[in-house]
Amino acid sequence: MEIIKINKIELEVPSNWNEVSISNYYKLRDLSTDYLNNEANWIPEKYILDYASILIGCEPSVLYNLELTNEDWLNINKIITNFQTQPIAEKFDVIKIDDRLYSYNNLNKMTAGEYVSVKLTLKKLPLEKQLSYLMAILVRPCKKVWNEEFNYDQYIVDDFNEYNSDNEIIEKRMDMYMNIPYTYALYIEELFLNGKIR
C-alpha cells in the first residue's frame, strides 16, 4: 500500500494487483465493462474518479465533493496507472484469516469428490462467484507441521469431508475469501485448470 495526497488528505491506496481483493477486482471489472459498453454516456473524468474510489475504498461521492487541483488530478491518475495491466497469479503457501491458517492440497492429491463437486458447481455459478467458490472448496483450514526429515514447515490441509463440503460452510468461506488478494485466487484457478502445482 502507498500513501497519496488528494485535497491535502492522505489516503492509503493499493500500489499493485496483489493488494486488490477479489471483491474490488470484480467492481473494477464491472465498472470498466460498463464504461466500454456505454462510452457515449461516460466522460473520462467520471470513470477515473469511480475507478479510484473503488481502489481507495470510498463512495465516488467523496471524491466528487472535493475541490481538486491539477496536482490532485495527477495523484488520482497515479492511483489507477498501476492497474492498467492484467493481474498475474501470485503463488502462496498459506493465508491467515482471523488467526486461522488456510492452505490447499497439491492438486495431484485431489479427491474425485472434490473434483466433481467443483466442476459441477462451477457450471451453475455466475462468473463473479466462481473464483471465491473454487477457493472455498480447495483452500481449507490447515495445521502447520515441522517436517523433520527435510527441515521445513509444511501445511496439512483438512480433508474434503462432510464438514468442508457443507453448503453453509462453503457460503461463509466464499464471503470471507472475497477479501483476499485477487492474485491468490488466480493462482488457485491456474492450479485447478492445469491440475498441478507450479
Q: Where are the domains of the chain?
A: 2-81, 95-194
Buried b (16+ CB within 10 A) or exposed e, 185-198: bbbbbebbeeeeee
Q: Give the confidence band of 196 by pLDDT, cuts at 50, 70, 90.
A: low
pLDDT digits (tens, 9 = 90+) for 165-175: 778 888 899 99
Judge whether 134 and 120 are in contact, CB under 8 Å.
no
Which candidate, 120, 111, 116, places its Cα nearest to that of 140? Answer: 111
Report residue 189 as a C-alpha cell. Answer: 484457478
Place of cell 472475497: 178
pLDDT digits (tens, 9 = 90+) for 48-94: 999 999 999 999 999 999 999 999 999 999 888 889 899 999 999 89
Q: Give the confidence band of 198 by pLDDT, cuts at 50, 70, 90.
A: very low
pTM score: 0.83
Integer Cα distance of 16 and 189 in angstroms: 20
Which candidate, 135, 133, 116, 136, places its Cα nearest to that of 125? Answer: 133
Judge whether 191 and 107 are in contact, CB under 8 Å.
yes
Integer Cα distance of 63 and 47 in angstroms: 12
Is the predicted pLDDT of residue 29 greater than 50, yes or no?
A: yes
User: Which amino acid does the sequence have at 125?
Assistant: L
